[in-house]
């Protein structure tokens, strides 16, 4: 059984499971799916109640915190027990593009040339991790939710703001991957 689980699954399996999350949450009490809201719940639990943004009954949304904890635990256990023994498959054209950026180690999911502790304390690392993290957090707050909340839950509920947010996420991703990333690697 463990050998079967270690083999790569078709992408549609995850798609169906994510898709079933939406009706399950709606049936279980009209709950909204989204990961970024859990940070607000953690802050509301830890911060003094005199900050208006965090002044609400976060305990009603505690299920979301367990959901996020389950995502982390699931990823951790999958890493421990269900690693794919085969090498990661990346197309030749993508390898050539990444090689032009100085990325040549394709042995793991995250390139070692970018995701190292040493790289964190460089200008490139500051741009990727600190500035990039700030922009993601700002965009999530400005859009009123993250990609999972808007693109999965919001679109399935036919919400126009979620459609606009999802289109903006996609356009921003395309610009970042095809314009900003090459510029960063060219000049840094």
The pLDDT score that the predictor gives to residue 5 is 67
Report pLDDT digits (tens) over 32-68: 887 888 888 888 888 877 788 888 888 888 888 898 8
Q: What is the largest CA-CA distance in the chain?
A: 55
Ranges of the chain with pLDDT below 50: none
Percentage of residues in the chain having pLDDT higher than 90: 17
The pLDDT score that the predictor gives to residue 163 is 95
Q: What angle do CA 159, 160, 162 make, to 5 degrees?
A: 70
The pLDDT score that the predictor gives to residue 6 is 65
The pLDDT score that the predictor gives to residue 93 is 93
Helices and strands in the chain: count of H runs, count of E runs: 12, 0
Domain assignments of the chain as residue spans, ordered by start: 1-86
The pLDDT score that the predictor gives to residue 162 is 93
């Amino acid at each position: 059984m463990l050998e079967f689980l270690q083999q790569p699954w078709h992408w549609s399996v995850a798609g169906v499971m994510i898709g079933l999350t939406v009706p399950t949450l709606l049936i279980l009490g009209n709950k909204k799916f989204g990961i970024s809201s859990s940070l607000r719940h953690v802050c509301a639990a830890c911060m003094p109640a005199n900050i208006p943004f965090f002044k609400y009954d976060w305990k009603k949304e505690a299920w979301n915190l367990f959901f996020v904890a389950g995502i982390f635990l699931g990823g951790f256990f999958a890493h421990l027990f269900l690693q794919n023994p085969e090498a990661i498959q990346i197309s030749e054209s993508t390898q050539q593009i990444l090689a032009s950026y100085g990325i040549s180690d394709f042995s793991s999911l995250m390139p070692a040339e970018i995701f190292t502790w040493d790289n964190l304390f460089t200008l490139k690392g500051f741009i990727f991790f600190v500035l990039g993290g700030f922009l993601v957090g700002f965009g999530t707050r400005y859009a009123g939710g993250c990609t999972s909340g808007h693109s999965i839950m919001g679109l399935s509920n036919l919400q126009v703001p979620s459609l606009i947010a999802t289109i903006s996420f996609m356009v921003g991703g395309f610009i970042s991957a095809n314009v900003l990333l090459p510029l960063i690697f060219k000049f840094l």
